[in-house]
Chains A and B, each alone.
Chain A
Amino acid sequence: DAMVIQNPRYQVTQFGKPVTLSCSQTLNHNVMYWYQQKSSQAPKLLFHYYDKDFNNEADTPDNFQSRRPNTSFCFLDIRSPGLGDAAMYLCATSRVGTGSEKLFFGSGTQLSVL
């Protein structure tokens, strides 16, 4: 089945130790998103790629970076994780340009920072 796959499901890192989360999709969608979701809160958009064009949200900390080497893969890099970065990180995709802005989400990566 076509889907959005996130690895790993659970990631534990140490304070200040760089970590990379990965996302892949088989939907051939042109847009990929990274959302951060803290406990009992709504998902908050960090950035998205429209094809190869990177679009950062104004309030996304510089500590968060992203790479999209090809249509199928997108990575979230946290350069120096702090305790406040512990959260669920959600990858999503959509096919913009068809008149439908439906987002399809992966199962998320739960990040713990020790």
Chain B
Amino acid sequence: GQQLNQSPQSMFIQEGEDVSMNCTSSSIFNTWLWYKQDPGEGPVLLIALYKAGELTSNGRLTAQFGITRKDSFLNISASIPSDVGIYFCAQGAQKLVFGQGTRLTINP
């Protein structure tokens, strides 16, 4: 079945630093989604990407759909304490498969 490899698994950064995480897929689909999950809550959609090469921003977040269609990255600029959480990439048609997540911790 489809597998998503997300890295890094965890990040420990200082407030104000930029963050970069990525995801690679064993299959090609037409959508890449990035979600953030706070403790005890459901995932919240951050960015959706629909075609190869697409670069989309949402505030301090930027995500790109890789040209090969098998990878995507998410960048967070100038991190703040509320960015703490787990970030998941996801892909699929009709039903989503999730990456293992990147746990972001920020030291003030």
Give residues in A with beta carbon < 8 Å to B.
4, 6, 31, 33, 40-43, 45, 48, 50, 55, 88, 90, 92, 94, 96, 99-108, 110
Contacts and interface: CB of A to CB of B under 8 A. Distances in A.
Interface stretch (B14-22, B38-46, B66-74): B38-46
A59 B101 CA distance: 21
Interface residues of B, number: 24
Interface in B65-90: 88, 90
A105 B43 contact: yes
Interface of B: 31, 33, 35, 40-45, 48, 50, 88, 90, 92-101, 103
Given A42-B99, A101-B31, A102-B48, A108 B42 contact: yes
A31 B100 CA distance: 24
A42 B33 contact: no
Contacts of A100: 31, 48, 50
